[in-house]
Structure 1
Amino acid sequence: MIKWSRLVLFLVVVGLLGGLFTTTGQVASNITLGLDLKGGFEILYQVEPLNEGQKVDTTLLAATAQMVEKRVNIGGVTEPEVNVELPDRIRVRIASHDADQEKLRELIGKPAVLTFRDVEGKTMMKGSDLAPGGAAVGYDELKRPLVTVKFKEPKLLEDVTRANLGKPMGIFLDDTMQTNPTIQSVISGGSAQITGNYTQESAQELADLLNSGAMPAKLIEKQVTSVGATLGAMSLEKTLYAGYIGGAFIFLFMLVVYRLPGLVANITLAAFIYLSLLFLDWMDATLTLPGIAGFILGIGMAVDANIITYERIQEEIRSGKTILSAFRAGERRSLVTILDAQVTALIAAVVLYFFGTSSIQGFAIISMLTTIVSIFTNVFASRFLLGLLIRTNLFKKPSWFGVKESEIGEL
């Protein structure tokens, strides 16, 4: 007896999946591309302590990485990728071909230590004495941009200006003098001005730099890698082209060799690709060439899970069992092998993530994601859909499962 309700349920599920697949392009376009696909540059810094006796530990590395990210944002670049690499490295990735590389490198490498010095070069006040967010852009009488600074303790500024009344006081950013005004009167309001040949943009940049604070450690630039926008686009285009060709062969192979189960495998494989892209979008992950390699490996793992099950089902059919009995025995006996392979892949990906460098970690994250998704789509979902079709009683011939009548009873 044909069970049409199961066929209808199968078609409804496939229809819902088909509706989701129409949004694949939108989901894929939301995924952030790495610099090797989009173009940009990568800088590797070695972190060294500023003061004698200071140690480079995880706390200092984290604080320095946070400051580096602030500096990159000041340069007008959003969502930089700043990674700490133990024991003493920080890797900065800027996936933008429009970013000014030289300007950003100068911003990141600048300690930005603000000091107020007397005529003998003695430091009277520091940038750390500024109030939070105390630097801002102002204008003089001729509407020329300048930077105003406000101190946490107005009394400090008052005492310093009183002690140096009538004397010049240099205002230095790192070791570069910004201005050298003569103190004409005691400043009691807690505010001062840094004047110079500033434009609106450079004054705002200096104010942002002072508000972000000084770099807590010294950065030594060890390596700079640049990828042009054209080269990145070419890499992405060739990778996608290879993926389309490989995917087409996989879909064709599954249909030709496994027939009905192959059709189900292709449906769940499409669901696997869609869900993996969707999770990448939700995670706000950056997709790089190593990540795409992990994605392709995940497709192979997903297909392999189906092949193991379907080969087992074919063996059970050849032994003389009915289609439903062969399906039940095949899915049961193949499950342990599949889960063992998936768990092994997960363990390998976890090890790569914790002990690998940044690019290897990207590969590992994608591998973990695709392995977990494939367990859901190409193990349990594919068995559910194939079970629906078999239980409709419409597909009782062994040929639907890639088995010839002459092969039955050979085992």
Structure 2
Amino acid sequence: MKTKARSNIIFIVTVVLIALFSFIGAKGVVIGGYRVKSFEQLITKGLDLQGGVSVLLEIIDKEVKPEELERTKELLNLRVNKIGVSETVVTTEGNRRIRIDIPGMYDSQGIVDALSKTGKLTFKDPEGKEVLTGSDITKAATQFNEYNQPVIGLEMSEEGRKKFADATTKFVGQKISIFMDEDLLTDPVVEGPITQGKAVITGNRSVEEAKRIAGIINAGALPLEVKAASVRTVGPQLGANAFPNAVKAGMIGVLVVFIFMIAYYRLPGLLADIALTLYIILVLLAFSYIGVTLTLPGIAGFLLTIGMAVDANVLIFERIKEELRTGKSIRSSVDSGFDRALSSILDSNITTIIAGVVLYFLGSGAVKGFALTLIIGIVLSMFTAIIVTKFLVHTALNMGIMSKPELFGVKRG
């Protein structure tokens, strides 16, 4: 009786928590003055869902090193942030191209003109006078000091060494600020004269920040000319219509799946639907945490993974039904069903994950988004099918509500 009572409590708490998280994810909530945003507000939507401009820039130089491509990407990312847009996605494509997706902006020519400039890196003294330019810096790299804190190491040309020696001697205890165009990158304090042509910038909050600033400094020292390879504008009306239509189609699809599982598998189908609800919550949480930009192909990949999750449950329940038809007890049939279905679930999902990885690394743009949502969805679908569904079924067995084969859709003579 203790086991049954404990199982009842566990099952009720599990269902209530999943329902609560579903409501919060769908609507958002305010708790003690703190606002928990809904998934719609947390997840970044792509251009095809909200409209905007997609610019594909190509570096004119034929031979481009990977580090030069990354530096140029950082420079363009800084420039596009200067334009004042949010949720901008900057990615590299191939060896010479950089794609910039700017939601909510529609002046494509103005954006191309702003992005195509090479940019100017300057070091300014406290009086605002220029003391160094990007051409005086030969190298910037992320390093760690004796306290294991991230710093930026600078190496200068011979001319830059002389300029910097004069400036740091004159402005000890004051700031020398580093700008990309008019944007302040960092403003370290001069601790003493620097006369050897090598300097260290401290005060970086993280390794990522140090890498970003070092990349921009390098990009300013080695500006690469770019041109627009393609410009695509998605109208606001088209984007505004696409998202609600995609959500509506997804909700209808999920509802049909839920009804089918209950109609065909009875009580186990209901438990599978509860696990699928948790699966959807986990996937959307993963999307918001990782920063996935959701596009129409991404939504298609997400819905496809729901089908994969259902498929895993179908394999499990069919195995259980086969075991029940042989005359085994319900508990024994459940254990055997999960064990026998495991290899089939792993085989089918792992091969799909491999295909998704190939698509992600070889594809570009929307293909990458589809592949990423597919991979995340499949990994979580295996977790919910193998772990969560099994937990719910065993809990129901302990509660005593799954004591008849008929509840699995099996009739014994």
Shorter-chain TM-score tier: 0.7 to 0.9
Matches within 5 A, 1:130-145: 130-132=122-124
**When the two structures are superposed, what TM-score results if normalisation uses the length of structure 1?**
0.74
Question: AA paired with 1:304?
Answer: D
Change (3 A) 1:12 1:111: closer
Unaligned 5+ segments in structure 2 are 27-37, 137-165, 168-178, 187-215
Structure-2 separation of matches of 1:294 and 1:135 = 53
Q: CA deviation at 1:78?
A: 3.1
CA distances 1:245-281 after superposition (whole Å, capped 9, x unpaired): 1111100000000001101100000000011111111
Q: What is the deviation of 1:215?
A: 7.2
1:336 corresponds to 2:328:
no
Q: Which amino acid is the alignment partner of residue 207 of structure 1?
A: E
Matched, 1:289 2:280: no
Deviation at 1:102, TM superposition (A): 2.6
Match 1:40 to one of 36, 52, 59 = 52
- 3-state SS of the aligned residue for 1:131? strand
Deviation at 1:205, TM superposition (A): 11
Q: Which of 381, 388, 401 is equivalent to 1:394? A: 401
Q: CA deviation at 1:210?
A: 12
Q: Does 1:30 align with 2:10?
A: no
Q: Which residues in structure 2 correspond to 1:137-156 (within 5 Å)?
A: 149-152=129-132
Could you tell me whether the CA contact under 8 Å between 2:323 and 2:337 is conserved in 1? yes
Cα offsets for 1:182-241 (capped at 9, x unmatched): xxxxxxx99xxxxxxxxxxxxx99634999747711112111111111101111121111
1:10-159 matches, within 5 Å, as 10-25=11-26, 26-49=38-61, 55-97=63-105, 100-112=107-119, 130-132=122-124, 149-152=129-132
1:235 & 1:359 partners in 2: Cα distance? 15
Question: Which one has a bigger Cα radius of gyration?
Answer: 1
Deviation of residue 345 (structure 1)? Answer: 1.5
Aligned residue for 1:41, secondary structure, equals strand
Equivalent pairs counted in the alignment come to 327
Checking the alignment, whether the CA contact within 8 Å between 2:57 and 2:98 is kept in structure 1 is yes
Q: 1:401 to 1:111 in 2, by over 3 A?
A: same
Relative to structure 2, which stretch is displaced further, 253-262 or 28-37? 28-37
- In the superposition, relative to structure 1, how do residues 240 and 85 fare at CA in structure 2: closer, same or farther (>3 Å)? same
User: Alignment partner of 1:3: what SS?
Assistant: helix
- 2-structure distance, mates of 1:210, 1:287: 30
Alignment-mate amino acid for residue 307 of structure 1: V
Q: Which string of whole-angstrom CA distances, capped at 9 and with x for unpartnered residues, describes residues 345-397 of structure 1?
A: 21111111111112211111111111111111122110111011123333222
When the two structures are superposed, what TM-score results if normalisation uses the length of structure 2? 0.73
Q: Secondary structure at the match of 1:37?
A: helix
Q: 1:11 to 1:214 in 2, by over 3 A?
A: same
Q: Which residue of 2 is the match for residue 276 of structure 1?
A: 283
Paired with 1:210 and 1:10, the residues of 2 have a C-alpha distance of 53
Distance (Å, rounded) in 2 between the aligned partners of 1:268 and 1:333 = 20
CA contact (8 A) 1:45 1:90 kept: yes
User: Residue 135 and residue 73 in structure 1: after superposition, are their counterparts in 2 closer, same or farther (change >3 A)?
Assistant: farther
Classify the secondary structure of the residue corresponding to 1:22: helix
Q: Which runs of 5+ in 1 are unaligned?
A: 113-126, 137-147, 157-188, 191-203, 407-411
The Cα offsets for residues 281-339 of structure 1, whole Å up to 9 and x where unpaired, read as 11122111111111011101111110000011111111211211111111111111111
Residues 91 and 100, structure 2, Cα contact 8 Å, conserved in 1: yes
Work out whether 1:8 is the aligned partner of 2:9.
yes
Q: Which amino acid aligns with 1:67?
A: L
Distance in 2 between the 1:343 and 1:36 partners? 30
Given the superposition, is the C-alpha separation of residues 205 and 40 from structure 1 closer, same or farther in structure 2, using an over 3 Å criterion? farther
SS at match of 2:327: coil
Moved more, 386-395 or 206-215: 206-215
The amino acid of 2:283's aligned partner reads S
Contact 1:71 1:209 in 2 (8 A): no
Equivalent residue for 1:309, pick from 316, 319, 325: 316
Mapped partners of 2:258, 2:59: distance in 1 = 50
In the alignment, structure 1 residue 374 sits paired with structure 2 residue 381: yes
Native 8 Å contact 1:43 1:221 kept in 2: yes
Quick check: 2:108–2:231 contact (8 Å CA) kept in 1? no
Name the amino acid aligned to 1:41: V
The one-letter code of the counterpart of 1:56 is V
Whole-Å separation in 2 of the counterparts to 1:46 and 1:341: 39
C-alpha contact 1:135 1:207 (8 A) present in aligned 2: no
Within 1, Cα distance between the matches of 2:327 and 2:297?
Answer: 46
